[in-house]
Structure 1
Amino acid sequence: MKRGYGDIRAGHWRGAVLVALLVWLASGSAQAQGPTQVGLRDDAPERYTVVRGDTLWDIAGRFLRHPWQWPEVWQVNPQIRNPHLIYPGDVVYLYYRNGRPRLGLERGQEVVRLSPEVRHIPRREAIPPLPLETVQHFLSAHRVVDDPARVDELAYVVAGDDRRIVSGAGDHVYARGDVEEHGRFGLYRLGERYHDSASGEFLGLELESVGQARWVRREGDIARLEIVSARQEVRNGDLVMPLEPFPLTAEFQPRAPQRSVDGTILAVPDGVHFIGRLQVVALDRGSRDGLAPGHVLAVEQRGELVIDPVTDESLRLPGVDAGQIMVFRAYDKMSYGLVMRASRPLSVGDRVYDPDTAGRVTTTSFMR
């Protein structure tokens, strides 16, 4: 859309993808979760103006001690168009109804003065629940296969053009197997095999992306592909799979799981030893355990292993609260999550659990 002179209400530069806020309170779902009290921060502002770069987690954390409780206090003004979306320039404000805290929304009234020449108004987009660029970059490089037997059924690279052993962007390769015509594909290499540390159960096989390719033509069961991008060299034997979609639905927002979850940090896909904020971790619990994108888990750092000075026994000290993780991709038996808070370095083996577990979450009175 084009505009000339004058003052107009403008949007903001392209941010992250649109993310809708699912309103539990209006649907009654919040009450179904139990009588958890909402803990306001002591320094919670009366009003906060949203800025570009904010996430839903950031905004919730300005008002609440536990950001995943946002849906319990969010109130929708039906007079506002698309009230479930929050944009830069909007104002989130704190008020009370029947003695309970609520958060409301005022649409931003920012005005931009244009110069005489014609300009394009950039499209305004809603804030995301967390740094989506971090999540999308990871998901484009990693995926999990729940059943390792499926790997034997996947198409694979058999050769490169001109007898190349390795290929890169712009090169052509030949793949054998089930490759759909006129599609775009991911090229993957076998990665980590994950198992439950206690039972030994297979949880998932991680595949690491080496690039992407597009279909060119087929002769018999051999397909010719053009490599359109490459993270590293493409080799014979690399797997060929349709690209995995990355849906970010209205459910992708901070909230506690609907049922009790107790698991551990399974691995750090990027091989980091000490885990901090905004790093991705693999968890040994998945959709079969009730996890879904947006679910928040508390982290308990494993207690130190010590020797009893009297009995010489090996003892593990009690664990301590260490942070929170938000799940962004749930497979059947495992999931990936992003560390949203880390009060101390996390590590593989640390416990993750439902933050609403009785006796584990400290709440404060919502009365002032």
Structure 2
Amino acid sequence: MRPSKLLLPFLALLLCLPLIVGADALRQGHPERYVVQRGDTLWDISNRFLRSPWLWPEIWYHNPEIENPHLIYPGDVISLIYVDGEPRLTVQREDRSGPTVRLSPRVREESISAAIPTIPLDAIRPFLTETRLLDGRTLANAPYIVAGADERVMGSGTDTVYGRGLDPDADTRRYAIVRRGDELRDPDTRRSLGYIATHVGDAHLEKQGDPATLSITRSNREVLPGDRLLEANETAFNSNFHPDVPATDVEGQIIAVMDGVNQIGQYSVVAINRGTEHGVEVGNVLAIYKAGQTVRDTFGGRRSQRVQLPDERAGELIVFRTFDELSFGLVMHANRAMHTLDAVRNP
């Protein structure tokens, strides 16, 4: 059965589409090559070459002769090449084995931790593993600090504190001290998504009992009676994810700013009411839209007609941590002020 005459032009367009997308992805005035510097991020480098940094996976060319070609290190050279007529970015790695430094695609073992991160880690570090999302019952039933050894402010590395509710049969010796923070609610359903458990410090169990004796090993702020004790989080964070677009359509809202302010700008950490249950993954880039205001039109034929202004694109965020029903994201670009309840969508 032959394709119809109407179908043939459509198939031809599909065949040309990757080339069109690849060519359009390049930023005007892009460099032909760039030497990666210490302190760079993958987002920074993507932004040098591409109009939209989240298109990186579509244009990245894996050099088969390099170990871990998806990782980029200071000193690597990112070059623009053409494969079958399509623009591709590839990496060349320094060879320092001889007296002359030359570029070659040789295999070189590198520590993954030495690779440049996708986004600035300093901006998100407190929210990677220390900040937790817990339901109210878990927080209420968690062990807690009942008092300090004296009446001084608790918080130094040698302070002794007493806790209750610890499992005497548990092998856990290291605990995180957390404090219940704001409750996050889904603005669509008004249902609670959990409480932010703010990391206060760390403690080591010295002696079981009721109360148990613990020593504070590290503190970010004053430790207070009533602060909760949770098993220390040993989960490692992978900072080498790639920016990309969600595989499904995402429609959500910013429900909180994690540094406690209402106005949002570049490098603000925000929570959105969409998580893994909605198809959101670490590395997903979402566009932020400032909610359009409702105004009164007093100039038309109908007096005082209410008009809903359209949402305006205000920036982009990248998701760096996901939960079932919400995610944390870092605002990477802001061209106007943003606030909670602004919309997030596929870019």
Q: Smaller-chain TM-score range? A: 0.7 to 0.9
Indicate whether 1:312 and 2:298 are aligned. Answer: no
Aligned to 2:182: 192
Q: Shift of residue 41 of structure 1?
A: 0.7
- What amino acid is aligned across from residue 147 of structure 2 in structure 1? A
Q: Shift of residue 111 of structure 1?
A: 8.9
* TM-score when normalising by structure 1: 0.78
Mapped partners of 1:328, 1:321: distance in 2: 21
Q: Shift of residue 155 of structure 1?
A: 0.7
Aligned to 1:40: 26
How do 1:1-368 residues align onto structure 2 when only pairs under 5 Å count? 37-38=21-22, 39-109=25-95, 125-139=114-128, 142-145=131-134, 147-162=135-150, 164=151, 166-169=153-156, 170-178=158-166, 180-219=170-209, 221-249=210-238, 252-309=241-298, 310=300, 311-355=303-347
Preserved CA contact (<8 Å) 2:118 2:239: no
- What amino acid is aligned across from residue 331 of structure 2 in structure 1? V
Mapped partners of 2:202, 2:35: distance in 1: 41
Mapped partners of 1:343, 1:46: distance in 2: 28
- What amino acid is aligned across from residue 319 of structure 1 in structure 2? D
- What amino acid is aligned across from residue 50 of structure 1 in structure 2? V
The higher radius of gyration belongs to 2
1:60 partner SS: helix
Mapped partners of 2:192, 2:293: distance in 1: 28
Gaps of 5+ in 2: 1-13, 100-109
- What amino acid is aligned across from residue 162 of structure 2 in structure 1? Y
Mapped partners of 1:242, 1:94: distance in 2: 47
Q: 1:250 to 1:268 in 2, by over 3 A?
A: closer
Moved more, 310-319 or 70-79: 310-319
- What amino acid is aligned across from residue 159 of structure 1 in structure 2? A
1:234 partner SS: coil
Per-residue Cα deviation, 1:124-153 (whole angstroms, up to 9, x for no partner): 8111111112211334652211x3221222
Q: Shift of residue 250 of structure 1?
A: 7.5
Q: Shift of residue 112 of structure 1?
A: 11
- What amino acid is aligned across from residue 350 of structure 1 in structure 2? D
Mapped partners of 2:296, 2:98: distance in 1: 67
2:307 partner SS: strand
Q: Shift of residue 214 of structure 1?
A: 1.2
Preserved CA contact (<8 Å) 1:48 1:93: yes
1:188 partner SS: strand
- What amino acid is aligned across from residue 185 of structure 1 in structure 2? Y
Mapped partners of 1:313, 1:165: distance in 2: 63
Preserved CA contact (<8 Å) 2:318 2:331: yes
**More RCO (CA 8 Å, sep 6+):** 1
Aligned to 2:106: none
2:75 partner SS: coil
- What amino acid is aligned across from residue 213 of structure 2 in structure 1? R
Q: 1:152 to 1:274 in 2, by over 3 A?
A: closer
Per-residue Cα deviation, 1:16-37 (whole angstroms, up to 9, x for no partner): xxxxxxxxxxxxxxx9xx9792
- What amino acid is aligned across from residue 21 of structure 2 in structure 1? Q
Q: Shift of residue 316 of structure 1?
A: 2.5
Mapped partners of 2:228, 2:42: distance in 1: 37
Identity of aligned residues (%): 41
Preserved CA contact (<8 Å) 2:117 2:240: no
Q: Shift of residue 109 of structure 1?
A: 4.7
State the 4+ residue runs in structure 1 displaced beyond 6 angstroms: 110-113
Q: 1:317 to 1:194 in 2, by over 3 A?
A: same
> How many equivalent pairs are there?
312
2:43 partner SS: helix
2:341 partner SS: coil
Mapped partners of 1:345, 1:112: distance in 2: 52
Preserved CA contact (<8 Å) 2:115 2:240: no
Mapped partners of 1:112, 1:186: distance in 2: 48
Mapped partners of 1:51, 1:232: distance in 2: 35
- What amino acid is aligned across from residue 154 of structure 2 in structure 1? S
Preserved CA contact (<8 Å) 1:89 1:110: no
- What amino acid is aligned across from residue 156 of structure 1 in structure 2? Y
Mapped partners of 1:96, 1:127: distance in 2: 25
